[in-house]
């Protein structure tokens, strides 16, 4: 059983950014090459916690790039900077539509937490 933990939801709490993109089949290789070129540079930005690039199971032109940041302030500082625009430009150039959404992380569920230990102890 997994547990759910409350997170700080103030300006210091984590932020999940969801960038939804339309990538035409003809642009897929260029898009993936651009992502591969920039991802490790972005990973060095202060407050960056990680990302995932996902392709729709039912629509191969529908992609999402999710990233998590240690705070909204960290993400917004990165977004306002020149490096953000410069690094994102080749990725954006391979798309036909984009939508950027931001969410405060309110709850997180993970395996191997206290609830799991309590369940195992109860069965012993």
Give the C-alpha separation, 36 to 114, whole Å: 37
* Range list of H helices, the chain: 28-42, 72-80, 82-93, 114-123
Higher pLDDT, 39 or 2: 39
pTM for the full predicted model: 0.78
**Can you tell me the mean pLDDT for 51-77?**
98
Under the banding of pLDDT at 50, 70 and 90, the label for residue 109 is: confident
Tokens of 106: 């309110």
pLDDT in the model for residue 120: 57
Under the banding of pLDDT at 50, 70 and 90, the label for residue 114 is: low
All domains in the chain, ordered by first residue: 3-123 (3.30.70.100)
């Amino acid at each position: 059983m997994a547990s759910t933990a409350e997170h700080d939801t103030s300006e210091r709490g984590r932020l999940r950014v969801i960038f939804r993109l339309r990538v035409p089949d003809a642009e897929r290789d260029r898009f993936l090459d651009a992502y591969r070129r920039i991802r490790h540079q972005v990973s060095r930005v202060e407050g960056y916690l990680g990302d995932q690039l996902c392709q729709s199971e039912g629509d191969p032109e529908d992609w999402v790039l999710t990233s998590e940041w240690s705070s909204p302030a960290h993400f917004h500082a990165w977004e306002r900077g020149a490096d953000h625009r410069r690094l994102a430009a080749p990725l954006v150039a391979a798309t036909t539509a984009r939508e950027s959404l931001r969410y405060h992380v309110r709850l997180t569920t993970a395996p191997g937490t206290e609830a799991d230990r309590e369940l195992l102890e109860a069965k012993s």
